Amino acid sequence: MSSKSQRSGRLFVISAPSGAGKTSLVNALLQADRRLVSSVSHTTRPKRQGEKEGIHYYFTARADFLALKSKSTFLEHANVFGHLYGTSAESVDIHLTNGLDVILEIDWQGARKVCEREPATTSIFVLPPSRNALVERLRCRGEDSPEEIRRRTNLAVEEISHFDEFDYVLVNDNFDETLLELKNIINSVRNGTFFSKSNVSDLAARLLSDKTRFE
C-alpha cells in the first residue's frame, strides 16, 4: 500500500437509510464526473436481479469474506441487515494514488470506520424528506418483500440518528437539486473552497421524534 503522501485523489463517503436515494444519486454523479470512481464492495448478500459481479459488488461466500477480514483486507466492514459488507483497502488506495477521487456508498457504521482510519475523508449523509417518502420509495423500487420493507424502515430511525456525525447532510426532496448540491460539495472540496452546510436539524428531529413503527 502506498503512503498517504503519495496520494493525489480525495476520499468521499455517502450514507443514508434505505430508500433515501443515495444509490441513484451516486450513479448519476459517477456518470457526470469522470474524475470520480466508486470502489466496488464485497458482500455476502445474494445477488439481486440486474446486478453484475465486479460492477455492483463482489458477491462473496461468508467463509471467504471472513477469511479476507482476518487478513485485514478491508478498509471498513459492517453487518447490514444480516449480511456482511466490506471495502477493499488496496482498491481504494490504488485509485487515490492514481489521482482519482473515490466515493464509497456505505452505511453509517462503515463511514465511521473510514473516517477514523482516513481523517481527511469528506462524509455526506442523505435524508429523506419524510418517513412516508422513505416507505414509498422502498415500495416503488420493487426489490423487497413487505416484511423486508418493514424491517428496513423500522431500522431507518437508528440510521438517521447518526446524521450529525457527517460533514454534510442533504435532503433528497428534489433529485436534480440534491444531485447539484452533491456536485457542489465535491467541487468545493477539490478546490479548497467553502460550501455552506444546510441546517437540517428540524427535519431530523421530526424524522426521529415519531417512534411509531411502520406497519
d(CA 110, CA 128): 20
Neighbours of 156 (CB within 10 A): 24
User: Which residue range(s) make up the domain with 18?
Assistant: 4-38+101-209
Could you tell me if residue 110 is inside a domain? Answer: yes
Using alpha carbons, list the distances in angstroms from residue 129 to 88, 97, 200. Answer: 32, 37, 10
- The three cell numbers of residue 8 are 493525489
Name the phi and psi angles at 123, rounded to 5: -110, 140
- Model confidence over 107-149: pLDDT tens digits? 898 999 999 999 999 999 999 888 788 778 777 776 767 787 7
How much is the pLDDT for 146?
76
For the chain, how many structural domains are there in total?
Answer: 1
How much is the pLDDT for 103?
96
Could you tell me if residue 215 is inside a domain? Answer: no
Question: What's the predicted TM-score (pTM) here?
Answer: 0.84
Query: Could you tell me which of 12, 10, 11 has the C-alpha nearest to residue 170?
Result: 12
Question: Are the CB atoms for 126 and 101 separated by under 8 Å?
Answer: no
Residue 3 clears pLDDT 60, i.e. is over it: no
- Model confidence over 6-65: pLDDT tens digits? 778 999 999 998 888 899 999 999 999 999 999 889 999 999 888 999 988 999 999 999
Could you tell me if residue 134 is inside a domain? Answer: yes
Could you tell me if residue 93 is inside a domain? Answer: no
Could you tell me if residue 198 is inside a domain? Answer: yes
Could you tell me if residue 78 is inside a domain? Answer: no
Could you tell me if residue 197 is inside a domain? Answer: yes
The DSSP output letter for 179 is H
The domain that holds 11 is classified in CATH as: 3.40.50.300
Q: Locate the DSSP E strands across 112-192.
A: 122-127, 168-171
Could you tell me if residue 96 is inside a domain? Answer: no
